Amino acid sequence: MGIQDISERIAAAASEVGRSRESVKLIAVSKVQPNARVEAVLQEGHRCFGENRVQEAAGKWPEFREVFDDIDLHLIGPLQTNKARQAFDLFQSIHSLDRPKLAKTFARLAQETGYCPELFVQVNTGEEAQKAGILPSEADAFIKDCQALDLSITGLMCIPPVDEEPSLHFALLSKIAKRNGLDGLSMGMSSDFEKAIRLGATHVRVGSAIFGARVAAP
C-alpha cells in the first residue's frame, strides 16, 4: 500500500478515539526484505524500521546509516543473551525483553556503556507454549524486577495468537501497562493495526502492507 496510505489509515484510526497521528509510531518491518525495497521507503522519508534478527540488521543498517540520517531501528524479534551487546549498538528500541537473564544482561550493559535502548517487555498474552514472552500473571512482578535493576521500561509488547480476536489481547496488554504506569504499547501488525490503535497502541509494526510479501534471502 505504501507508507503514505498506511499513515493515513493510522491517522483515521487515531482520530476515531480522539488521538493525534503523532501519538502512533509506525515501525516499517523490513525483516527479510530486499535492500532495494527498504531503500525505496527510506527515499520516501520514512526512518523508523523493525528487524527480527540482530545478524540480519548488522548486515543491512550500518550501510544505510552512512547515507540516511536519523534512522530509528527497533528489534522486534527474540534476542539471545550473547547478542545483547551487539543489539545495544544497533538498535534504538528493543521490544523483546522476555526473561530475567536478559534483563540482568541489559542492566549490566547499561551500567558499562551509560546507554540503554528503549525497552519493551514482551507479554505472552495468549500463554502459547511455543511463543516467547512473560505470562500475564507474572508481568507485574517482572516489570518491578526490571525497574529494580535500574532499567527504564518504556512499555509492553505482544503478538496475539493468529486464531484469536486480537482486540482481546490488545485490551489485556493495555490493562497490564496501565496498572504499572507504562505508556508504551507495541501492538498491532498489518492485519490489525487499526484495532490496536483504537485500544491505545503507541507503536504499530507493519511489514507486508508496506513492502509486499516477504522475500526470503537466497
pLDDT digits (tens, 9 = 90+) for 171-186: 999 999 999 999 999 9
| pLDDT(216) > 70 | no
Per-residue pLDDT, 215: 59
Q: Give residue-wise pLDDT tens across range 21-76.
A: 999 999 999 988 889 999 999 999 999 999 999 999 999 999 999 999 999 999 99
Q: What is the mean pLDDT of the chain?
A: 95
Distance separating alpha carbons of residues 139 and 134, to the nearest angstrom: 6
Residue type at position 210: I
Cell numbers found for residue 197: 490503535
Res. 213 pLDDT band, cuts 50 70 90: confident
pLDDT score recorded for residue 212? 79
% the chain with pLDDT above 90: 93
Question: Residue 102: beta bridge partners?
Answer: none
Report whether 165 contacts 172 (CB < 8 A).
no
Q: pLDDT band at 218, cuts 50/70/90?
A: very low
Handedness of CA 8, 10, 15, 18 (dihedral sign): negative
**The three three-digit cell numbers of residue 133, written as one number:** 514472552
Question: What distance in Å separates the CA atoms of residue 218 and residue 202, rounded to the nearest whole number?
Answer: 35
